[in-house]
Structure 1
Amino acid sequence: MLEKVIVCFTGFLTDTSPFCCNLTNFFHYTPSLLELHLWDSTLEYLIMGGVGDSLNNIKSLKFFTMSLRNVKEVSGVVYLITSCPKLQHLTIEFDSSGINVEGVVQFLRPQSFLYGALKLQRVQVNMFMGLEMEMEFIKFILASTPVLEEIFFWNFVYLGVRSGKQMIDEIEEFRRASPNVDFIFEEDE
């Protein structure tokens, strides 16, 4: 039984048709999959083909270098989070570079009222700087996770726009579905 899969595609898509990749078909044949790691532009492939109910058993989902400047990628992450009914652990590494973020912020605001990650307990967010689109993503997580226990934020000190305490103070004011969420912020030099 295959329980863990790590998928990484680099580069740009040359064929944008929904049939250019069999990756989505692969997931239909892995019903015992418990852990999935996605890197780089893998989300673009998944968005094109959809995953349906093929990820019903996923308990741990990890997104590395998730671009918060790409509405399609962010919508793909939201779709996957809400499509994994048994999801308990989520790890995200933000790539917040870019200045065209208004589309992402506008997409995330209404998502804060969706429930989908009903069993999500722990979230780890790497490379968190407290930028507007990152905060909107955290609002979505907090509003849609009724059993969330902990969000762990990590970043390098020199990348921080604000202090960890300032960001946590702001996040603690967000509406949340789970009343007992612990926020942990760690910065490395």
Structure 2
Amino acid sequence: MSAKESVDEKRGKLENSNATQLESQPNVDRISNLPWVLLDTILVKLPLRDAARTSILSTKWRYKWTGLSKFFFDDKCFPSSLSGKVRWGECMRIINQIRSYHDGPIEKFKLAAYCSPNSSDLDQWILFLKERGIKEFILQDVSSIRWLKLPSFLFSCPQLSCLELFGCMCKIPSDFVGLNCLKSLQLTEVSIRTDALESLIRNCPILERLMLSSIERLAFLRIHNPNLKYLKINSQFENICLENSMFLDSVDIHKIPVYRTTVAQQVEQGRPCNLVRVFRCLTGIKRLTLSGDFLEFLANGEVPESFRPVLNNLPMLDLREVKFGSLKQVAVLVSVLRSCPNVEELIISVEKTYSSNPVMEFLVTLSLAGFTFSQLKVARIRGIVGTVNEMEFINLVLACSPRLETLTVATYGLERIPEIFFRASKDVKITSLTL
């Protein structure tokens, strides 16, 4: 018998002996004797209210829940009848217990309890989280608080990797040097100065995901980060610049109209149109989603038939709220398509507009000029009402897509689209749906 076999045999006998001893002691507390890393893994999966209830199990369990590595304050923590201020009082009661007994790291904190935080109390809690090495800080759905002021030292937490803020006023410290560990940033209904937002984005060297929604009073939105991979914007802005962001993989931009402009929108003499300026650095993008108002913004200036560099790696294009009565939007739509030679999937949602003869003539000219979607396999068009411009675009897709496999058209008020269109692909399957 080898030495290894002898050791394995002894280990097996010892394990069997321990198992026999535990079986002969049915009242032994196996859970309490688990390593803390396992107990923490189990308890953080429970609602915080249930984790706190484990304190009644025994004196040994009285304060175990206060040492968790993650804390989630949500609706499950409190009765629905409690007001916002009372809920925050309950939050503080729990927080004070945590501060009294917690002596390890806290990796994640999430507040989504529809409460009304007191700024001073919240500041002290954030300072405590910073001292405990917080990695994920999420503030959502704060009831009735508009522009909750956050302490500037939140933006100096050295290990912060995920930051999500809702309804806050953010002030970046004057000596801000960056968040070196931040990978994901999401700001919703946040008040932040344009230059502060630019500095925040620029000085997070490993930032990969950026989501901006309903940000207040953005005049010029500059996105400058070489590591950024995912960008989603649903906000008002008057101008935008994507620079040094060549690794962007997915871009989704919905521009909310600005009715009072503070920045002149005239195109400077000799300056390229917004379409070329915005997309010239997105050569590696694989998913692109644009809205109608942003298409209108991109049309500022003379729209080229196509632009360079082309978006060679883009297989999926999603265009929303397209107005087929707007020659500018249709021209941008076509220019983008012509600059995506390898697009395989096209999704378009249509916003109802009246027909326009210039749009009709433009689309007919494209059909006659040999324009092709050489790689297009799947097309979905939603919201058609039957205008001649819409029908001509469907005709363009069918006539110029030799590899098209499926076309799905969802219509308002039409039983089905006419089947008189020429089809470049003999195998295309057309599905017509009524909304």
- Decide which moves more: 16-25 or 113-122: 16-25
What is the deviation of 1:77? 0.8
1:30 matches 2:270: no
The 5 Å alignment of 1:59-78 reads 59-78=315-334
Does the C-alpha gap of structure 1 residues 163 and 150 become closer, same or farther in structure 2, counting only changes over 3 Å? Answer: same
- Decide which moves more: 118-127 or 129-138: 129-138
What is the deviation of 1:27? 2.9
Please name the residue that 2:401 is paired with: 145
Is the 1:154–1:186 contact (alpha carbons within 8 Å) kept by the matching residues of 2? yes
What is the deviation of 1:116? 3.1
Unaligned runs of 5+ in 2: 1-246
Does the C-alpha gap of structure 1 residues 116 and 82 become closer, same or farther in structure 2, counting only changes over 3 Å? Answer: farther
1:11 matches 2:263: no
> Number of paired residues?
178
Is the 1:61–1:90 contact (alpha carbons within 8 Å) kept by the matching residues of 2? yes
The 5 Å alignment of 1:50-89 reads 51-89=307-345
Give, in whole Å, the separation in 1 of the partners of 2:282 and 2:391: 34
What is the deviation of 1:26? 4.7
- Decide which moves more: 101-110 or 44-53: 44-53
What is the deviation of 1:30? 2.8
Q: Which structure would you say has the larger Rg?
A: 2
Is the 2:415–2:434 contact (alpha carbons within 8 Å) kept by the matching residues of 1? no
Please name the residue that 1:122 is paired with: 378
Give, in whole Å, the separation in 1 of the partners of 2:281 and 2:339: 17
What is the deviation of 1:21? 8.1
Is the 1:3–1:32 contact (alpha carbons within 8 Å) kept by the matching residues of 2? yes
TM-score by length of 2: 0.38
Instruction: Give the secondary structure class of the aligned counterpart of 1:57.
Output: coil
Is the 1:85–1:116 contact (alpha carbons within 8 Å) kept by the matching residues of 2? no
Please name the residue that 1:92 is paired with: 348
Is the 1:10–1:40 contact (alpha carbons within 8 Å) kept by the matching residues of 2? no
Please name the residue that 2:242 is paired with: none
The amino acid of 1:45's aligned partner reads: F
Instruction: Give the secondary structure class of the aligned counterpart of 1:112.
Output: helix
Is the 1:59–1:89 contact (alpha carbons within 8 Å) kept by the matching residues of 2? yes
Instruction: Give the secondary structure class of the aligned counterpart of 2:384.
Output: coil
Instruction: Give the secondary structure class of the aligned counterpart of 1:185.
Output: strand
The amino acid of 1:95's aligned partner reads: E
TM-score by length of 1: 0.82
1:187 matches 2:434: yes
Q: Which has the higher contact order (CA 8 A, sep 6+)?
A: 1
Please name the residue that 2:296 is paired with: 44
Instruction: Give the secondary structure class of the aligned counterpart of 1:77.
Output: helix
